[in-house]
Amino acid sequence: MAGPPGSFDVEAAVGALAERHGLAGEAVAQLRELHRMLVADPLAPTAVRDPRKVLDDHLADSLVALELDVVGSAQRVADLGSGAGVPGLPLAIALPTADVALVEAAARKCAFLERAVARCRVANARVVHARAETWPGGIASVDLVTARALAPLEVVVEYAAPLLVIGGTLVVWRGRRDPEAEKVAVRAAAEVGMRPTEIVFVRPFAEAESRYLHLMSKVTETPSGFPRRPGMARKRPLGTS
């Protein structure tokens, strides 16, 4: 039921977002439950609690990647640094035939993710309590890696490359373009068998500004020596020398 004039109708807004991306039925109910948890669960690892901002900044910003064919066709996905489950959980809801690994190093965040997967009944999502560099069984196991608000581009590229099969794709959510950082990421990608393919401007919601999805493809085997031991990707980032 709609609220008073000027109020935010969560049910209708989530329904409209789902319809925009061709989702219906169970997926709508799952998105509504995830939205509720992100707003109200005190253990949700997010500072965003306003219902409208949760819809825009978490759900809509995640689902906008469905505009990319490579995301819509993915079968094995790893969401690195999954945190509150974005973008991984909304994408798992939207892609019920894909196997989606929510990879998170922090035990507290993993506990929330486990609860969210269960409450939202996302049968194709699983929580992996590990760092990207030390994930058992993660090497060459996925055709899509996603990452949002995780680390600088060159660091994310190094995390993702060993996990991808050849031909797989990394999609990184970013805000305002930074040409110098992008040059560093290009050099880093070359060191781990990756190649930038596209930077796509997206508008996940009407007021969104400076939203880009950076795509990189794995073109050759990642050299031996990767992944480096935990912490090295940040301490000595590729592409900077």
Q: Which amino acid does the sequence have at 218? A: K
CATH H-level, domain 67-235: superfamily: Vaccinia Virus protein VP39 (3.40.50.150)
What is the model's pLDDT at position 4?
54
Q: What pLDDT, in 10s, does the model give residues 65-74?
A: 999 999 999 9
Q: What pLDDT, in 10s, does the model give residues 79-110?
A: 999 999 999 999 999 999 999 999 999 999 99
Radius of gyration of the chain (CA): 18
**Cα end-to-end distance, the chain, whole Å:** 58
Alpha helices, DSSP H, located in the chain: 10-20, 26-40, 51-53, 61-63, 69-72, 88-94, 107-119, 153-160, 179-191, 232-235
| Matching residue, tokens 């965040």 | 109
Overall pTM surpassing 0.75 (yes/no):
yes
Report the alpha-carbon angle 92-165-173, nearest 5.
50
Q: Where are the domains of the chain?
A: 67-235
Confidence tier at 1 by pLDDT (50, 70, 90): very low
